[in-house]
Each structure stands twice: as structure tokens, then as C-alpha cells.
């Protein structure tokens, strides 16, 4: 099973609408990252959260890490066509004796209709 789960799997919204994407882990997160990716292109770093309860914003995107550090949400306000893409959460998780390992969620595909 996936170490990180994302919901929804895909999302279609009308331009101007707000939306939320969730990322859930069964393990404590030691750093939760949000990335955006256009099809076939590299990862675009959005923001990173480390402390429980932390919230960060950049332009119209806000991300929160819950107090127990096992879930994060990404909220987009007044969505625009430029927000379309695949949103991936990534996290450093404890892995056996090799220290921390970085894994990705399956991604949420966002389409914004003009």
C-alpha cells in the first residue's frame, strides 16, 4: 500500500473556485513537501512544512500540516487555469536502518476550466 495517500485523485473545477487537496500518511511526517508538475516536466517546489500546526502561503496557495503531523492539506483560492497540473505531496519517512527516505503520494490531477 502507498505510504502517502492523496485525495482526490483528480479534480475539475471552474475558474475562480476554491479547492483543497489532502495528503495523508500512516506514519509521522518529518517534513512534508508539496510539488506541482506539468505533464512531462520536472517538479516545481511549492512549499515545505515541518512543524505540527504549521501553515504557509504563497500567492493563492496555502498549505497546512496538522498537529499530529500525519496529514497535510493544500488549498487554492480563486483557482486559475495556470493552477492546472499534477500536485504531488512528498515526505521524509523513517525507513528501517537507512535513516529517512523520501516518498511521494500518487498525485492529484487538477484541471481548471476557463
Strands 10-14 and 85-94, sheet pairing: unpaired
Cα angle for residues 108, 49, 27 (degrees, 5° grid): 75
Q: For residues 15 and 106, which CB has a smaller minimum distance to other proteins in the complex? A: 106
- Closest approach of other proteins to the CB of residue 84, in Å: 15
Q: Quick check: helix, strand or coil at residue 12? A: strand
Binding residues (CB under 8 A) for other proteins: these are: 30-31, 33, 35, 39-43, 45, 48, 50, 88, 90, 92, 98-107
Cα 14 → chain centroid: 20
Q: For residues 21 and 33, which CB has a smaller minimum distance to other proteins in the complex? A: 33
- Closest approach of other proteins to the CB of residue 14, in Å: 24
| 65 within 8 A of 53, measured Cβ to Cβ | yes
Q: Quick check: helix, strand or coil at residue 81? A: helix
Q: For residues 42 and 114, which CB has a smaller minimum distance to other proteins in the complex? A: 42
Q: For residues 30 and 55, which CB has a smaller minimum distance to other proteins in the complex? A: 30
| 87 within 8 A of 34, measured Cβ to Cβ | yes
- Closest approach of other proteins to the CB of residue 16, in Å: 27
Amino acid at each position: 500500500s502507498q505510504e502517502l495517500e492523496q485525495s482526490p485523485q483528480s479534480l475539475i473545477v471552474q475558474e475562480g473556485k476554491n479547492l483543497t487537496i489532502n495528503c495523508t500518511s500512516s506514519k509521522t511526517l518529518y517534513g512534508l513537501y508539496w510539488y506541482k508538475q506539468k505533464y512531462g516536466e520536472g517538479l516545481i517546489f511549492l512549499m515545505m512544512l515541518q512543524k505540527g500546526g504549521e501553515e504557509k502561503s504563497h500567492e493563492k496557495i496555502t498549505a497546512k500540516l496538522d498537529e499530529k503531523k500525519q496529514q497535510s492539506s493544500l488549498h487554492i483560492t480563486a483557482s486559475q487555469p495556470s493552477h492546472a497540473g499534477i500536485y504531488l505531496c512528498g515526505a521524509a519517512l523513517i525507513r528501517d536502518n537507512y535513516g529517512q527516505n523520501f516518498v511521494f503520494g500518487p498525485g492529484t490531477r487538477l484541471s481548471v476550466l476557463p
